[in-house]
Amino acid sequence: MIPFTAFGLLGMLALSIPVGVVLCMLAFGIDVFFSPFPLMRGLGQVVWSSSNSATLIAIPLFVLLGEILVRSGVANRTYAALDKWVSWLPGGLIHANIATSTMFSATSGSSVATAATVATVAMPQARELGYSEKLFSGAIAAGGTLGIMIPPSINLIVYGFLTESSIPQLFLAGLLPGLLLAGLFMLVTAVLCVIWPSLGGPQRHATWAKRLASLVDLIPIFGLFAAIVGSIYAGWATPTEAATVGVAIALAIAAHQKALSRQMIADALRGAVKTSAMIMLVVIGAYVLNFVLTAGGVSRALQNMLNGLGFGPMATLLVIVLMYIVLGFFIETLSLMVATIPIVVPIIVHMGYDKIWFGILMIILVEMALITPPVGLNLYVVQSARRGRPFADVMLGCIPYVTAMLLMVALLILAPQIALYLPSTQ
């Protein structure tokens, strides 16, 4: 049964069958071949109860928030303002790339839309100012991945939903590691640019007067972030309610930027429905598979197998981390998370690890999947904003940031408190 599941999963994925469909078909297969009683009679109920959820509606709302925000034209100003604050560091504008993608993806739900927006804003500057494009584009791709860790995060909502853990706690747990990782990205950039100045470009110094004046342009994004995360932290709002408030604020920002039009709202709605339906088909597939794996005893069989191997908790954890790194080359973020959660999380919990902590660890690992070739969505998104230049530039430019992520994985394993401290203060 375990080989059937593993090979069935990888085989069908390789055949390019849609991921959500693969998960459902795997569940049908296990039901037909291995289950003593027909589980699929419950399929309708499973689909109904998994999608009838006041928790999951936060997904389309956060996606909508991001869709409105990227169309509001606020990215240009944010980028210009952050440029004044961070471009004095060795590496110059590259730091502005990291900071802008971090802030933007932190408030919006979709890291892809974010990377696309920041890339369109930033890439022309690279040419104008004569930056080497490798590290420059790598920073946008890597910075964009932070969005799924820094709250609000759609991936954390999905994780919380599938593993029945608290989403507010997950959001809080992601905050410090996310900021730390952003800091590591900037540190790596600065160190590299001190050693090899040709990797970066001119450092830029803005006067304090200009810096302070630019703060006005940061208010929208900071305000949005504070409203969402603050209200969840204080316990005033559920993630869904915070998302609702976020959508309202994003609409206000767009109105203030005079970007609001019927066409713009229609496009934002289309984008939100498309992205969230895509996510939901995968989530429903995982939910159905989860149901069959649990009812069919696969999870237990897997645990017995692992116990039989006699690995300790640390060895098991390292094997799992390695598996994510390898699979991450070939499978995309959400698919990777959702397809493995039903199998991996029960094992991790059984080994005595914390579910919330592992959620954050998993997020870093799937962030890496976003920027590791051949399948790494953010690489392609950044590349599409710089047509005609070699794709290898983006890939090479990401290597330092992948290294920083590996360092972060090690830190998180050695010091789980980085993730668990904030939730414990709530």
Partner 1 sequence: MTSLIILLRKVNDRVAIGVGLVLLACVAFTLIEIIARRLGGSLGGVDEISGYVMAVTTSWGVSYALTEQAHVRIDLLHARLVPAGRALMDALAMLCLAGTAMMIAWRGWGVLAKTLSTGARANTPLETPLWIPQSLWWAGWAWFAISAILLSLFVIYKIVRGRYESVERVAGARAEV
Give the residues lining the site for partner 1 (CB under 8 A): 12-22, 24-25, 28, 40-41, 43-45, 47-48, 51-54, 56-57, 60-61, 64, 112-113, 116, 237, 240-241, 244-245, 247-248, 266, 268-270, 272-278, 280-282, 284, 330-332, 334-335, 374-375, 377, 380-381
Q: How far is the CB of 61 from partner 1 (least distance, A)?
A: 7
Give me Rg for the CA atoms of the chain. Answer: 22
- CB 236 to partner 1: min, Å: 9
State the minimum distance, in angstroms, from the CB of residue 24 to partner 1: 5
- Closer to partner 1 by Cβ: residue 119 or 150: 119
* DSSP state letters, 68-116: HHHHTTHHHHHHHHHHHHHTTSTTTHHHHHHHHHHHHHHHSS-HHHHHH
d(CA 325, CA 164): 25
Between residues 20 and 201, which has the closer beta carbon with respect to partner 1? 20
What distance in Å separates the CA atoms of residue 403 and residue 415, rounded to the nearest whole number?
Answer: 18
Q: Which residue number, 34 or 380, has a Cβ lying nearer to partner 1?
A: 380
Q: Closest Cα partner for 333 from 298, 365, 380, 297? A: 365
Smallest gap from residue 103 Cβ to partner 1 (A)? 21
Based on CB atoms, which residue is closest to partner 1, 177 or 239? 239
Q: What are the CB-based long-range contacts (under 8 Å, 24+) for 39-44?
A: 39/291, 39/292, 39/295, 39/296, 42/291, 43/288
Nearer to partner 1, 94 or 113 (CB): 113
Give whichever of 190 and 265 is closer to partner 1, judged by the CB atom.
265
The length of the chain is 426
Q: Three-state DSSP class for 388?
A: coil
The secondary structure element, H or E, covering residue 28 is helix 19-34
Closer CB to partner 1, residue 270 or residue 300?
A: 270
Q: Least distance (Å) from partner 1 to the CB of residue 391?
A: 13
- Residue 212 CB, nearest approach to partner 1 (Å): 34
Cα–Cα distances in angstroms (integers) from residue 214 to residues 145, 206, 222, 253, in the given order = 26, 10, 13, 17
d(CA 249, CA 231): 14
In angstroms, what is the minimal distance from the CB of 87 to partner 1?
29
Please report, as a single letter, which amino acid is at residue 314: M
